[in-house]
Amino acid sequence: MKQVYFDNAATTQIRDEVIDKMTKVMRENYGNASSSHSFGRSSKSLIEKSRKTIARYLNVSAAEIVFTSGGTEADNLVLQSAVRDLKVTHIITSKMEHHAVLHTVDQLEKTCNITVNYVNVDSNGTVDYAHLESLLNTTEKTLVSLMHVNNEIGNILDIKKVADLCQAKNALFHSDTVQSVGHYKLDLQDDKLDFLAAAAHKFHGPKGVGFVFIRKNSGLKPLIFGGEQERGYRAGTECVHNIVGIEEAMTLAYDNLEEESEYIKSLKQYFIEQLKAKVPAVKFNGYSADMEKGTYTLVNVCLPVAPEKAGMLLFQLDLKGIACSKGSACQSGSTKGSHVLAEILDDADMQKPSIRFSFSIYNTKEEIDYVVDVLREFI
């Protein structure tokens, strides 16, 4: 059976170069990075080299990069410590965030007596910046948490505009950049974010490792207590091979960004053209079909399928060897529909199947032809 992987927004195939580098480290650099002997120092030097590399791509100091187990831990560290240690009493977010943010904010609202406001979004899922500015007119200590690239519909936040608004209103700004780091260049000297979360497995690195950017002198404190690893921000013996893996993945992503992003853009454009030609009633959710307002890595489509048949679509695609998603991979097995699409689609379109197809350098136009033909046949 033909196998087509179009679920790269959920996770990506690890590059061979990353696997090779990680395997070498596992064989040769097995010392505990906290040990003072040569084995430990060897591991420690690899971690610090990785930290410096990542910091260089974001134009920050190495001391501002803290390695975590991934984006969820990074989001939790920022949000929970902001309330507990920075005395934030007001959080502004949107109802279209990843659940790593939404569920954490919900828990903080219940247990810490904070005020939570959700910024308005339009029918395409774009943040209402005027409403955001009005929500920032408060005397409460405020943290804004808005994702850079939406993981379901691909809308791109004007991250500089939000950063400037927050700075003008003396508010902190955190962004979940899990879908953008490795795909877009970020200059954190120009874009004045206070905190940022990222995960390696979204740009052809290993699962189980990510990082959080914490601007110097923020006052943030650890979520996990124990040893003094990661400058006291994150206790626990560092996973050296994973950290080297995220460095290698990020290096390859940014060193090849122009060429690889152009290739993926061409795949997305071709997919859109073929869908429009062969499934004329198709709709594109949010700005997922817009090459400027939406990320080049994914398309979210609402398909003209009757409600009684809609539930079979993903099953049929899976039978044909096609991997894709009805939303975030974190929602698999949930009986609830997409909370993101619920914000922007009317009742009629919510009854139809919406599918997210996301692309990488390992995909081809031949795969797109196959997927479009399968969709047309089902419809």
DSSP string for residues in 134-181 = HHT-SSS-EEEE--SB-TTT-BBP-HHHHHHHHHHTT-EEEEE-TTTB
> What is the number of other CB atoms lying within 10 angstroms of the CB of residue 258?
9
Token pair in block for residue 172: 């902190």
The reported pLDDT for the residue numbered 335 is 52
Give counts: helices (H), strands (E), the chain.
Answer: 13, 12
The reported pLDDT for the residue numbered 333 is 46
CA distance 147 to 72: 13
Q: Which of 112, 239, 302, 330 is catalytic?
A: 330
> What is the number of other CB atoms lying within 10 angstroms of the CB of residue 301?
22
Q: What is the DSSP letter of 227?
A: S
CA distance 152 to 321: 21
The reported pLDDT for the residue numbered 331 is 46
pTM, full prediction: 0.95
Specify the pairing of strand 283-284 against strand 298-302.
antiparallel
Token pair in block for residue 84: 């507990």
Going by C-alpha positions, the residue among 149, 153, 177 that lies closest to residue 299 is: 153
Range 302-309, long-range pairs (CB < 8 A, 24+ positions): 302/345, 302/349, 302/352, 302/353, 302/354, 303/279, 303/352, 303/353, 303/354, 303/355, 303/375, 303/379, 304/279, 304/352, 304/379, 305/352, 305/353, 305/378, 305/379, 307/351, 307/352
DSSP string for residues in 84-133 = HTS---EEEE-TTS-HHHHHHHHHHHHHH--EEEE--B-TT--B-HHHHH
Q: What is the DSSP letter of 204?
A: T
Q: Which residues of the chain have pLDDT under 70?
A: 327-336
Q: By the 8 A CB rule, do 300 and 354 touch? A: yes
Residue whose pair of structure tokens reads 């690239």 in the numeric block: 149
Residue whose pair of structure tokens reads 């997919």 in the numeric block: 271
CA distance 226 to 148: 32
Helix (H) or strand (E) run with residue 71 in it? helix 71-84
HSE-up (13 A, CA, CB side) for residue 155: 23
- Annotated catalytic residue 239: no
Q: By the 8 A CB rule, do 9 and 374 touch? A: no
Domains of the chain: 4-12+257-378 (3.90.1150.10), 16-255 (3.40.640.10)
Which amino acid belongs to residue 212? V
The reported pLDDT for the residue numbered 172 is 98
**In residues, how long is the chain?**
379
Angle at Cα 252 formed by Cα 251 and Cα 257, nearest 5°? 105
CA distance 157 to 56: 23
Q: Where are the alpha helices (DSSP H) in 216-325?
A: 240-255, 257-278, 307-310, 313-319
Token pair in block for residue 359: 């692309």
Residue 379 neighbours by CB under 8 Å, 6+ apart: 279, 303, 304, 305
Residue whose pair of structure tokens reads 């993903």 in the numeric block: 314
Classify residue 210 as exposed, middle or buried by CB count within 10 Å of its CB (0-12, 13-18, 19+).
Answer: buried
